[in-house]
Structure 1
Amino acid sequence: MRTVPISDADDPRVAPYVSIRERDLAGRSDGRFIVEGKVTLSILLERSRFEIESVFIGRSRLEPLSEILAQVPPEVPVYVAPQAVMDQVAGFPIHRGVLACARKGQPFGVEKLLDAETLLVLNGISNHDNVGAAFRNAAAFGAGGVLLDEQSCDPLYRKSIRVSAGAALWLPFVQAGQGEDHITGLQSAGFDIWAMTPRTTAAELHQLKPSAKTAILLGPEGPGLEDALIDRCRPVRIAMAGGFDSINVATAGAIALAYCHATSMAGDD
C-alpha cells in the first residue's frame, strides 16, 4: 500500500475529489466516478469490474481499514489527510472518511445481458435512491443484469452505488437507448416483458408463471410507464389492499423479482 499524505486541500493530486456533490450532480465528463464508504470500497477492490485509480481517506481511518487497504494494488495511491482537510476537499463533511476514485472504462453492449434468465429494465427512473435500491434488489434475487434508458440516472452516481450496497459495481448493466428500443431488442431475443402497472385490467403477478427469459420493466414514480410501452408488453400488477394501488418503484421491482426467483427455485426442485 502506497500512502501519500495530503495536508493542503488545493493539492492537485486529490483534484478528482473536489466538490464531489456538485460534480456528481452536474455529471462527470472525465470517465471517473466516486465510491464512498467502507462496504463499497471493499467491493470495488474485491469484485468490481472497474479500475480503481486512487483512494482518499481520513487519517483516523487508516488503521481501522488496514485489512481492506491491504488489497489496494501497489501502483494505486492511498491519499491520507486530516478529516478537516478531507472535508474541505469534498465540500461537505465526509463522515465515513472513505472515498475512492475509479474509471468507468468501456461500457457493455446490450448483448452482454441477453443470455440472462431474468433482467430488470428501468425506464425514466431519475431518483438515485430508487436506482440504487433497484440494483440491490436485482442482485438479491438473482437477476442477470439491469438495462436502463438514457433518461434514468447513472447507477455509478455515488449515492446510487451506496444504496445498491455495491451491487452497481459488479452486476452487469447497460445504459443506452430508449424504452421502445429496449422492448424491441428484448422481444427479439425471446424475453417475455412484464410491464409493472397498477392497471386493474393487468394480470396479477401471483397468477403468472415466468418464462424461460423474463424482463421486469419499471417506470418512474408518479406517471409510471407510458401506455405505449405497456401495450407492447405483458401488463402485470401487484395485488394490494383496497383503496391503495401503488408502492415505491424499487419495492415493486423487488416483489416481482422475488416472485420470479422463488418460482424458478421451485421449478428446479
Structure 2
Amino acid sequence: MPDTDRVAERITDPADPRIAAFVSIRERDLTGRHNRFIAEGTVVLRMLAASAAGGGPFTAEAILLLENRLAGVADILAQFEDTVPVFVADATVFNAIAGFDMHRGVLAIGMRQSPQTLEGLLSTLPDEALILAACGLSNHDNVGSIFRNAAAFGASAVLLDETCCDPLYRKAIRVSVGAVLTVPFVRQGTAGNLLAAIEGRGFALWGLSPRGETDLDDIPPAPRTALVVGAEGEGLPPAIMAAIRTARIRQKPGLDSLNVATATGIALHRIASLNGLV
C-alpha cells in the first residue's frame, strides 16, 4: 500500500547512480525506451499519481524534487506505492541533474504499462463516443494541445498514426497539462488503416479542413463521431479527403487556416455540444 509518510533520499552529487535516468534529459528524452517518459510539474505528477493509484496504465519509476517542494506534494506522493523512490536535492544539484529549468522543482520518470493496440482500444469505447484521429502531426506543442482539447470536451480517445510524434515526449505532456495521461490513446499504423478500423466500429468520420465540403455547424449528431485532423500546412492528404466527409470552420477571408490545435478545439466543442457531451 502507498505510504503516507514518505521518506525522501537526499542527493548531493549529480553523478549519483540512483538518479542516472534524470541526467541530461534535455538531450535524451526517454520516449520509445521501454515506454518511459519524463513528467514535469505538480499538475502532471498529480495525474500520474491518479493513474498509478487507480490501476491506470501509467505509474512512476522514480521522483526527483527540489527540497523546498517536498512538503507541498506530500499528498501526491502518498498515492504512489512505497517501492517508488523519492529523491530530493538543493537547487544547484537539481539543475545540474536536470539540465533545464522547466520543471518547477518536480520531476518524475514515468512508465507506461502494456500499451493498448488499436483494436483493443476501440473495443473499449462506449456506444456513444467522440474520438479524435490525427495524421502526420509532428509538432509536440500541437499534439499536447489537442490532448488538452480532447480532455476538455469529453473525447473518449485520441488515435494517432505512426507518423505523428510521440505524445509521451516531455513537451507534449507538459503542454497537455497532463491530459496525455488521462485520455486513452494509441499511436499505430498508417492513416488508412487507422481510419478503416474506426469506420469498421461504426463511427461517422469527419475530416477537418479549410477545404471541407460542409460547414462545421451542419455536421449532424451521431452516436459515434470521429474527427480527423492533419498536419500543419499540408493538412489531410487528398486520398483521405476524398474518402471521408469533410467539414470546415467559417472564418473571415484573407487567412489560409487556423492552427490545427485551435481548429481542433473549436470542432471538438461543436461536435461535443451537438451530442450532449458538454
Asked if TM exceeds 0.5, the reply is yes
Match of 1:183 among 189, 195, 198: 195
Among 38, 45, 48, the residue aligned to 2:42: 38
Runs ≥4 in structure 1, deviation > 4 angstroms?
none
What are structure 2's unaligned runs of at least 5 residues? 1-5
Q: Extract unaligned runs of 5+ from structure 1.
A: none
Task: Give the Cα separation in 1 of the matches to 2:254 and 2:221.
Answer: 28
The DSSP-based 3-state class of the residue aligned with 1:231 is helix
Q: Tell me if structure 2 keeps the 8 A contact 1:219–1:225.
A: yes
Are 2:20 and 1:9 aligned? no
Quickly say closer, same or farther: Cα 1:146–1:95, change in 2 above 3 A: closer
Q: For residues 72-221 of structure 1, what are the structure 2 equivalents within 5 Å?
A: 72-94=80-102, 96-111=104-119, 112-114=121-123, 115-116=125-126, 117-199=129-211, 202-221=213-232
CA contact (8 A) 1:195 1:234 kept: yes
**Residue 26 of structure 2 is aligned to residue 21 of structure 1:** yes
Separation in structure 1 between the aligned mates of residue 102 and residue 111 of structure 2, nearest angstrom: 21
SS at match of 1:96: coil
Task: Give per-residue Cα distances to partners, 1:60-91, cap 9 Å, x unaligned.
Answer: 21122233233332221101111111111112
Residue 223 of structure 1 is matched in structure 2 by 234
Note the C-alpha offset of 1:28.
Answer: 4.2
Alignment root-mean-square deviation, CA? 1.8
| Alignment check: 8 A CA contact 1:196 1:217 kept | yes
Task: Kindly indicate whether the alpha-carbon contact (under 8 Å) linking 2:132 and 2:157 is maintained by their aligned counterparts in 1.
Answer: yes
Asked if structure 1 preserves the Cα contact closer than 8 Å seen for 2:149 and 2:268, the reply is yes
Query: Could you tell me whether the CA contact under 8 Å between 1:113 and 1:173 is conserved in 2?
Result: no
Q: Which residue of 1 is the match for residue 59 of structure 2?
A: 51
**TM-score, normalization by structure 1:** 0.93
Instruction: Work out whether residues 87 and 94 of structure 1, in 8 Å CA contact, stay in contact via their aligned partners in 2.
Output: no
Select which of 231, 241, 263 maps to 2:274. 263
- Whole-angstrom CA distance in 2 between matches of 1:152 and 1:64: 36
Q: For the Cα contact (< 8 Å) 2:122–2:198, is it kept in 1?
A: no
Q: Is the 8 A contact 1:110 1:174 kept in 2?
A: yes
Q: Which residue of 1 aligns with 2:258?
A: 247
Equivalent position amino acid for 1:113 in 2: L
Aligned length: 265
- Which piece of structure 1 moves more, 148-157 or 241-250? 241-250
- Residue aligning to 1:70: 78
SS of the aligned residue for 2:206 comes to: strand
Name the CA distance, whole Å, in 1 between partners of 2:110 and 2:238.
Answer: 39
Other structure's SS at 2:72 match:
coil
Cα contact 2:223–2:275 (8 A) shared by 1: no
Q: Percent identity?
A: 44
Are 2:134 and 2:159, in contact at CA under 8 Å, matched by a contact in 1?
yes
1:153 Cα deviation from its structure 2 partner: 1.0
Partner-residue secondary structure (3-state), 1:21: coil
